[in-house]
Amino acid sequence: MKEAQVFLSAKDICKAFGPTRALVDVNIEIARGEVHGLIGENGSGKSTFSSIAAGAQTKDSGDFYIDGELYSPKNMTDAQNHGVSMIVQEMGTIPTISVASNIFAGRLEEFTKFGIVNFKEINRRANEILQQIGAADIKAETMTYRLNFEDRKIVEIARAMVCDPQLLIVDETTTALAHKGRTILYRLIEKMKEENKCVIFISHDLDELMSVCNVVTVLRDGHIIDTLFGEDITLQSMRRLMVGRDMADNYFRSDYEGSYSDEVVLEADNVTYGIVEKLNLQLHRGEILGLGGLSACGMHELGYILFGIAKTLTGKVVNRITGKEITSPIVATANKMAYISKERDKEGIILNATIRDNITVPSFDLLSGPMGFISTKNEEKLAEEQIKVMSIKCRNSRQRVSELSGGNKQKVVFAKWLARDCDVFILDCPTRGIDIGVKAAMYQLIYELKKQGKGVIMISEELPELIGMSDRIVLMKDGKITKEIARDKSVTEQTVIDYII
Amino acid sequence: MEERDIQKELENKAKRKELLMNILPFAGLILITVFFIIVTKGRILRVDNLANLVNSMFTITLASCGAVFVYAHGGLDFSIGSTSGLAQFICIFMIMKLGLPVPLGILGAVFIAMAACSIVGLASIKLHIHPFVASLCVKNITAGLLSVLTQKAGGQITLDYSRFKIFNSVWLKGMVLVVMVGLGFYLFERTKLGKIQKAIGGNSRTVEQAGISVRKYKMLAYMVLGFCVGIAAFFQMTRIGTVSSSSGSGLEFDIMIAMVLGGFPMSGGSAAKFRQFVLGGITMTILTNGLTMWGLDVSYVSLVKGLLLIVLVSVSYDRSIMKQVSIISL
């Protein structure tokens, strides 16, 4: 192998957040011409490492070197001036200023003379960059809030390209991107590689990593576990190194018999809300019903309707076990239904509260004794029980949820519903943004619910899990059901994809 | 081995920090008390001044017992000062002018205060007006009503003190205070009424989706506040003995200062604790009283209070809550 020229090297980097050690003596070398994948479960330290390298956070100890010279960025602009640029996971754009101002945010002084900002020049330069990355259809003068979600993400990519970076850090950007954005990003990465620059690429999608990266470093609990080159980068090896053990083959359920009782537990009769129009759906006892489609197909809205969060304009949703019409989350929970939101941090959990306070929220009525008294002891008991059942990785039930990894946060969301005895589960993207170890546990749990005779609706954008888990898949497009597929060994992504695009 | 040591040290550090945050408000109170005991040569602890302290502590602490519910869910009420004034007027009018029995007067005060606070709640919940704006509107309404009514009634109404001796006894006030603080603590920390307020302050959508009526619980918080303000208004009226158009004013600011001094989180949420509010109220009372006892001219008291507040807040306020990754920090 030819000796590659090292661009960025990290020596003994350490970082702690309160009592959590995010990085422990991390040594990494990023060579020119490298697309260097960083993988690891949530909370393994990959995002922390890259944000320190990009100047968004400070390190506790250790040193960075660029081309052999000591490098310690003061902030993200300083890092950019040193040739290190990052497309951030979820920083977003400022909606009320123009695209150009977003791209050059933090750099306006460079265009300022005698206190007057030369917007003409900013717009010209911004348009230039947009053109370079292949997004000429976005105009620099546009107010950012007029752009759709996808285009805003592309603006973030453009922002990272401002200073002609030598090292581009892509932190889980692709999760939020659809086809257009991905094409732009992949092309950009390819170009960087050709120009002998380097890329750090962070993603949960192992297939994507395999196709994009030529080096992959695996992190676990803030430690570097191993680095894989070229041919050694395989799904098996990456999974094994991430989780620390061989993943079992029955990642999804192993049977191919779509089985469920005839008894309907939840029924949507002619419901309408948002893009969803006059739709009918039935969920049976002991059934895992997969709802699939593109993000905007209306399946998430349907989840809202089924739990009464969104009010249907026509028809009704009825819980067939109790015969009650579901008109609000209050009625839904009273009728033993549970809902897990796709927006975990925004809707699913109270970030600043403790694990205990999160788990007890839907169960206050069960915990209240005479005079409404809720004993701390009982709360503690309930929380500890669920932490054990779900094997949530934490110090104790009084730890704040914001300190947990994505997977463990999701476990808390599950736990709060499991603490109640529910009959119907509506799960909107239950494995979104969680790592494979926890994912496998979630699939097992969902299957367990089915075996207990619960009705489960699993809304998902990931076709493999829909096919792997559902007794019946209902596919949606433009707010309508396009196809219903029964569980069968022969179902593949190809059979499914035509009905949703 | 070494690794485990580092982990342990980090955990201890986090624990120490949490402990410090919990202790600071207490330490502040003790520090201020000791300071004033020294500079006033113990005069602050004299029986007549202690009675004084209980009296001035009374209103703010009572109002705090209710305000804690509203501020915990992220709401606020800027109208309680004027509302208290109006409640005082209605109470004194019912007793002195209409000759109604005292308990009815108390009911009148409580009713008015609960109604005013409910309007703030309703406007913010049903009409989605920010409680700040809603309560400013209500403040103007109640203040306006108070000044119109006092004029119509021919200026100040004065209370016949002899009939109200019992309500000015420090012992009764002390007892009421203990009962209300106890009840408030119980409701806020040990029943779902309080727990849900904190949860709403943390993330109202999560609470909504957990099948809890956020609107109902927000409304209840405003009603509890109204109740406490009403009771406080009655006792304030019996103490001062007269109601004018400026009665009660300033209470809303005292509440906010108490909140800050006690370390109560500005936007509510799960870090909110009942004792923070009460502690803050007590600290503020001692501060005001101590400064006056020390011989500071009354006109300087609020100046010094403001300065001290900045110092105290900068020591105790958890800035990490406000620190969020923003594009500005680029």
The complex's ipTM works out to: 0.84
pLDDT of B65 higher than 90: yes
pLDDT of B90 higher than 50: yes
Q: Which of A268, A311, A244 is nearest to A40 (CA)?
A: A244
Q: How confident is the model at residue A3 (pLDDT cuts 50, 70, 90)?
A: low
pLDDT of B291 higher than 60: yes
Cα(B153)–Cα(A345) distance, rounded to whole angstroms? Answer: 56
pLDDT (average), residues A51-67: 89
Do the Cβ atoms of A127 and A208 come closer than 8 Å? no
The alpha carbon dihedral of B58, B63, B69, B71 has a sign of negative
Residues 148-187 of B with CB under 8 A from A: 186
Q: How many CB atoms lie within 10 A of CB B175?
A: 11
Contact between chains at B327 and A20 (C-beta distance less than 8 A): no
Strands (E), chain B: 157-158, 242-243
Cα Rg of chain A (Å, integer): 25
Residues 330-349 of A with CB under 8 A from B: 330-334, 339, 341, 346-349
CB nearest to B10's CB, from A21, A346, A347: A21
Chain B contact probe: residue of A76, A93, A361 with most B CBs at under 10 A = A361
Cβ of residue B13 closer than 8 Å to a chain A Cβ: yes
Cβ of residue B242 closer than 8 Å to a chain A Cβ: no
How many angstroms away from the CA of B205 is the closest CA of chain A?
5
Q: What is the pTM of this model?
A: 0.80
Per-residue pLDDT of A423-435, as tens digits, reads: 999 999 998 877 7
pLDDT (average), residues A236-261: 78
Q: Give B14's contacts in chain A (Cβ within 8 Å).
A: 18-19
Strands (E), A285-409: 288-292, 316-319, 324-325, 337-340
Interface contacts (A, B; CB < 8 Å) = 117
Do the Cβ atoms of B86 and B234 come closer than 8 Å? no
pLDDT (average), residues A346-371: 91
pLDDT (average), residues A161-168: 88
CB nearest to A346's CB, from B198, B205, B269: B205
- Rounded (5°) CA angle B263-B264-B265: 110
Residues 6+ apart with CB under 8 A from A224: A26, A27, A28, A217, A218
Name the strand (E) or helix (H) holding A425: strand A424-428
**What DSSP string describes A5-26?**
PEEEEEEEEEEEETTEEEEEEE
Do the Cβ atoms of A444 and A456 come closer than 8 Å? no
How many angstroms away from the CA of B215 is the closest CA of chain A?
12
Q: How confident is the model at residue B1 (pLDDT cuts 50, 70, 90)?
A: very low
pLDDT (average), residues A465-469: 92
> What confidence score (pLDDT) does residue A2 get?
46
Contact between chains at A361 and B199 (C-beta distance less than 8 A): yes
Q: Give A106's contacts in chain B (Cβ within 8 Å).
A: 327-328, 330
> What confidence score (pLDDT) does residue B315 get?
64
> What confidence score (pLDDT) does residue B73 get?
95
For residue B107, with 0-12 CB atoms within 10 Å meaning exposed, 13-18 middle and 19 or more buried, which class applies? Answer: middle
Residues 6+ apart with CB under 8 A from A186: A212
Chain B contact probe: residue of A99, A364, A368, A424 with most B CBs at under 10 A = A364
pLDDT of B48 higher than 80: yes
Where do the structural domains in chain A lie, given as residue ranges? 6-243, 259-336+422-501, 351-421
pLDDT of A495 higher than 90: no
> What confidence score (pLDDT) does residue B326 get?
32
pLDDT of A466 higher than 60: yes
Cα(A205)–Cα(A95) distance, rounded to whole angstroms? Answer: 29
b or e along A134-144 (b: 16 or more beta carbons within 10 Å of the residue's beta carbon)?
Answer: bbeebebeeeb
CATH class held by domain A6-243: alpha beta
pLDDT of A300 higher than 50: yes
Cα(B68)–Cα(A209) distance, rounded to whole angstroms? Answer: 51
> What confidence score (pLDDT) does residue A247 get?
59
Phi and psi, residue B322, nearest 5°: -85, -15
Cβ of residue A307 closer than 8 Å to a chain B Cβ: yes
Q: Among 3.40.50.740, 1.10.3720.10, 3.40.718.10, 3.40.50.300, what is the CATH number of A259-336+422-501?
A: 3.40.50.300
Cα(A37)–Cα(A17) distance, rounded to whole angstroms? Answer: 24
CB nearest to A353's CB, from B13, B199, B325: B199
Q: What share of chain B is helix, strand, coil (3-state, %, to 5)?
A: 80, 0, 20
Cα(A360)–Cα(A374) distance, rounded to whole angstroms? Answer: 11
Least confident of B60-69, B89-98, B152-161: B152-161
CA distance to A267, A287, A332, A498, per residue, from A449 (Å): 19, 9, 18, 30
How many angstroms away from the CA of B11 is the closest CA of chain A?
4
Where do the structural domains in chain B lie, given as residue ranges? 25-312
Per-residue pLDDT of B302-327, as tens digits, reads: 788 788 778 766 765 555 444 333 33
Checking DSSP bridges between strand A316-319 and strand A264-273, what pairing results, if any? Answer: antiparallel
The CATH number assigned to the domain with range B25-312 reads 1.10.3470
Least confident of A101-110, A133-142, A188-197, B314-323: B314-323
Q: What percent of chain A has pLDDT over 70?
A: 96
Cβ of residue B5 closer than 8 Å to a chain A Cβ: no
CB nearest to A19's CB, from B14, B190, B210: B14
Contact between chains at B327 and A56 (C-beta distance less than 8 A): no
Q: How confident is the model at residue A116 (pLDDT cuts 50, 70, 90)?
A: confident
Cα(A440)–Cα(A443) distance, rounded to whole angstroms? Answer: 5
pLDDT of A469 higher than 90: yes
CB nearest to B192's CB, from A21, A353, A368: A368
- Rounded (5°) CA angle A371-A372-A375: 110
Instruction: Report DSSP state, residue B303.
Output: H
Per-residue pLDDT of A265-283, as tens digits, reads: 999 999 999 999 999 999 9
Tokens matching residue A225: 């576990």
Whether the domain at A6-243 and the domain at A259-336+422-501 fall into the same CATH topology: yes
Mean pLDDT of chain A: 88
Residues 6+ apart with CB under 8 A from B15: none
